[in-house]
Amino acid sequence: MRILVVDDEEMKRISLEEDLKGRGYEVVSCPDGESALARLREGPFHVVVADLKMPGVSGLDLLKEVKGGLQPQAEVILITAYGSIPLAVEAMRHGAYDFLTKPFNNERLFPIIERIEKQLCRERNKGKQDVCGKSEDVSDLLVGSSLAMQRVRELVEICAASEANVLICGETGVGKDLAASVIHKLGSRRAHPFVKVSCAVFPRELVSSELYGHEKGAFTGADGPRRGRFELAQGGTIYLDDVDDIPLEEQVKLLRVIEEGVFERVGGTTPVKADVRIIASTKEDLRLKIAEGSFREDLYYRLNVMRIDIPPLRERKEDISLLVRRFLEEIAGTWKVEMDPEVPEILHSHDWPGNVRELRNALRRAYLTGRGVVRAEGLLEEGPAPAAKGTGGGLRETLNRVERDLLQDALRKAGGNKTAAARLLGMKPSTFRDKLKRYGLA
């Protein structure tokens, strides 16, 4: 691999050059942006490592030249002072591969370079596979004709072509899981695992062992060694669903894994390399969580390199007709499904608080209860009232039964996410958790 090192600080530049050469890379080093541009015009590089702040042509200018046409295939890593992280994030949006904050030792750069090396290998192999493999069309996977959905698809494709971390934001049921899996499916890691971690469902004391695994005897009940999700996702993608539910003390560990690309199992000391791409999702406004002190700002910057906001369905009702067609195909295959003439109007005037998931469920239920015909009547009703299922008992028992059913139902709709389920019922998450315990559902 050919690496170009650009730094105006001589000591740093020389030490980096020496260290990289020591690891077998071919290295060219330049003291400023101007001479770097000249070297880039002379021949191809795989990686450019540049200081963001340099007099004259800055690291950002260099990045724009490289990605804008000089050598768009080259990956650019920027080195930045802590205070200029927002600028570095801006640089990531212009196509930088990663950034490192000063002060840093050269060791932190190596895992990043190794990741690029692996990616290059994968791309070479991918070229071979593509000859026989069929490529999937993103508009078949993420259905919708609205401008908003077109933008989402565009971003999904951009993310799939890069290795940068992605943050997907949106209400429950808008398609965050789906978008994450499509990014993986279309990307260069598709032959490797896609591992979903629902951060909201783990008790806080188990988060570490879930993510990083544990050694035998690490804690009571750890009868044998176990691989964590990061190890299971090796070479592929890890999807951290509801990332804001990761407790603060775990956020520090996650940050370290992202920055250094290594972790240790709980109770272990051997560092394990994490060659894993991270996609995270949230229903919350993480900026507010940062202001509240429940989410680390540095972790936010690391995750929010690329960002996809999926708007709620009520803001893109043009998508409803294509989605209906897709879901009815899923339910009935090529069988032509009949529907009452007022159905489209009902679907378009509803607000869809549960978004695309709610639409899909409503159609399924209507198809089943209408015995193959989507009826207008009861289309948006939630099946039989839970109380009707009860038999006998006093008022208290009946109310308890109804409440238990509602909790269970909300939990199912929210895919096991307690915070989301609480929100569906308009309940505080803490109240919701208490009730789950009371009914033995936790």
Interface residue list for ligand ATP (CB under 6 A) = 142-144, 170, 172-178, 283, 326, 356-357, 360, 414-415, 417, 420
The residue length of the chain stands at 442
CB of 112 to ligand ATP, least distance (A): 29
Could you tell which of Mg ion, ligand ATP, none binds residue 306, using a CB distance below 5 to 8 A set by kind? none
Residue nearest to ligand ATP (CB): 175
Could you tell which of ligand ATP, Mg ion, none binds residue 364, using a CB distance below 5 to 8 A set by kind? none
Nearer to Mg ion, 241 or 358 (CB): 241
CB of 279 to ligand ATP, least distance (A): 11
* Piece in contact with Mg ion (CB under 5 A), picked from 115-123, 177-185, 219-227, 263-271: 177-185
Residue nearest to Mg ion (CB): 177
Nearer to ligand ATP, 48 or 142 (CB): 142
Residue 358 binding Mg ion, by CB under 5 A: no
Q: Are 301 and 260 in contact (CB under 8 A)?
A: no
CB of 390 to ligand ATP, least distance (A): 28
214: which DSSP letter? E
For residues 78 and 100, what is the distance between their CA atoms, to the nearest angstrom? 6
Q: Are 88 and 56 in contact (CB under 8 A)?
A: no
Q: Are 50 and 9 in contact (CB under 8 A)?
A: no
Among 75, 98, 177, 245, binds Mg ion (CB under 5 A): 177
Of the CA atoms within 13 Å of residue 160, those in its CB half-sphere come to 20
Could you tell which of ligand ATP, Mg ion, none binds residue 188, using a CB distance below 5 to 8 A set by kind? none
* Piece in contact with Mg ion (CB under 5 A), picked from 15-23, 173-181, 256-264, 340-348: 173-181
Nearer to Mg ion, 92 or 422 (CB): 422
Could you tell which of Mg ion, ligand ATP, none binds residue 151, using a CB distance below 5 to 8 A set by kind? none
Angle, in degrees to the nearest 10, between helices 147-161 and 176-186: 40
Nearer to ligand ATP, 96 or 324 (CB): 324
In DSSP terms, 396 is beta-bridged to: none
CB of 348 to ligand ATP, least distance (A): 17
Q: What b/e string do you get for 390-416 counting C-beta neighbours within 10 Å, with b at 16 or more? A: eeeeeeeeeeebbebbbbebbbebbbe
Q: Are 60 and 92 in contact (CB under 8 A)?
A: no
- Residue 302's SS3 state is helix
Could you tell which of Mg ion, ligand ATP, none binds residue 143, using a CB distance below 5 to 8 A set by kind? ligand ATP
CB of 205 to ligand ATP, least distance (A): 24
For residues 439 and 442, what is the distance between their CA atoms, to the nearest angstrom? 8
Q: Are 155 and 166 in contact (CB under 8 A)?
A: no
CB of 147 to ligand ATP, least distance (A): 14
Six-digit token string for 222? 């750890």
Nearer to Mg ion, 30 or 199 (CB): 199
CB of 165 to ligand ATP, least distance (A): 18
313's CB contacts (< 8 A; 6+ apart) are 173, 174, 319, 320, 352, 355, 356, 358, 359
Element (H, E) at 423: helix 418-424
Where along the sequence are the contacts to Mg ion (CB under 5 A)?
A: 176-177, 241
